[in-house]
Structure 1
Amino acid sequence: MTATEELVVPPVRLRRRLAGATAVAVLAFDQLTKAWARSLEETVEVVGSLQFRLAHNSGAAFSLFEGLGSVIGVLALAIVAVLVVMLRSVSNRTAALAVGAVLGGAIGNLLDRALQPGDGFLGGHVTDFIDLQWWPVFNVADIGITVGGAVLVWSSIRPGRAS
């Protein structure tokens, strides 16, 4: 094997690394912004109807299924496992970015369920703080999950997928 051949990284590994880096970036930004939000003593008006306001969510994204934190936590754990398995078959850069965004967001909210106060196994509340006042309060992890999920659907149905 030549030196050049040893430096070549297969495209599958590059896509996995891209997904992993995206997951780490979403997770880090999510956890940093949630830590900041937990330090808020009052609502921060940003622009228009956008404000940052601390909220505790024991349900799913966008405050759905309030009070089912443990059930949602276990489902989130299963989703994270499925996403990790999906990383083995990521077929293009777009899908890699999308899986990474969903994975980072899912882990971010799962960490809250494990580390924040709540009832039972993985029953902690999720820290939400982005308030549009016309939509349920959400966080960066929810954005990663929603946008990543939409991009995954889009990339799986669009014609002529590129690598």
Structure 2
Amino acid sequence: MLALLVVVAVCCYTLDQVTKALASAKLDPMRPKHVIGSLLQLHLTNNPGAAFSIATNATWVLTIIASVVILATIFIARRLRSKPWACALGLLIGGALGNLTDRFVRPPGGGRGHVVDFLELPHWPIFNVADCCVVTAACLIALLAFLGIGIDGRRAADRTGSGTPTAGGDSE
């Protein structure tokens, strides 16, 4: 399962970095390009904060949070035995690493760099592929938790006992 996690993370990270490089090279921040009418536009921005421009003056905090998320996810992944969880954690690591890379390599750098955003939907903040990966990971993690599927691939009832009586006696 770790191999699947790594493949998903590398694919997400690569797609994110390639699309950011293309957006930075080809888009003019002052002239958004319509892709699907007004539904999807390519609109280049450099975001010093998080979604909805939250924490624009605390970029270093976002850098620390992303670093902790990545490290904690890697630590949790050692118990990984589930393909859906491998995909979810791969998406999370790939997306977090994509934006974390921007924080270090884009101006002003040093963990305070601005993240390249370029995808715009109506009535929504401009975002990037890494953001899509993180949000998809969060949704998948929430779904897996709701279904009671653990990182080891077993359902909660299987890990704790189903609570049903056995042929020889009581359940407890």
Same structural fold, with TM-score higher than 0.5 when normalized by the shorter chain: yes
**Structure of greater Rg:** 2
Shift of 1:46: 0.6
Structure with the higher helix share, 1 or 2: 1
Identify if the C-alpha distance between structure 1 residues 140 and 94 changes in structure 2 by more than 3 Å, giving closer, same or farther. same
Mapped contact 1:98–1:151 kept (Cα < 8 A): yes
Mapped contact 1:104–1:144 kept (Cα < 8 A): yes
Aligned-partner Cα distance in 2 for 1:88–1:62: 34
Aligned-partner Cα distance in 1 for 2:41–2:73: 32
Mapped contact 1:62–1:138 kept (Cα < 8 A): no
Structure 1 stretches of 4+ moved >3 Å: 159-163
Aligned-partner Cα distance in 1 for 2:142–2:96: 17
Could you say which residue in structure 2 is the equivalent of 1:54?
44
**Larger RCO, structure (CA 8 Å, separation 6 or more):** 1
Could you say which residue in structure 2 is the equivalent of 1:91?
81
Structure 2, unaligned runs of 5 or more: 155-172
- 1:3-42 to 2 correspondences below 5 Å: 15-39=1-25, 40-41=27-28, 42=31
State which of 130, 134, 138 in structure 1 corresponds to 2:123: 134
The percentage of aligned residue pairs carrying the same residue is 34
Q: Note the aligned Cα RMSD (angstroms).
A: 1.7
Shift of 1:133: 3.1
State which of 49, 56, 68 in structure 1 corresponds to 2:58: 68
Q: Does 1:110 align with 2:110?
A: no
Mapped contact 1:63–1:137 kept (Cα < 8 A): no
Shift of 1:63: 2.7
Identify if the C-alpha distance between structure 1 residues 135 and 160 changes in structure 2 by more than 3 Å, giving closer, same or farther. closer
SS at 1:53 equivalent: strand
Shift of 1:21: 0.3
TM-score by length of 1: 0.84
Could you say which residue in structure 1 is the equivalent of 2:165?
none
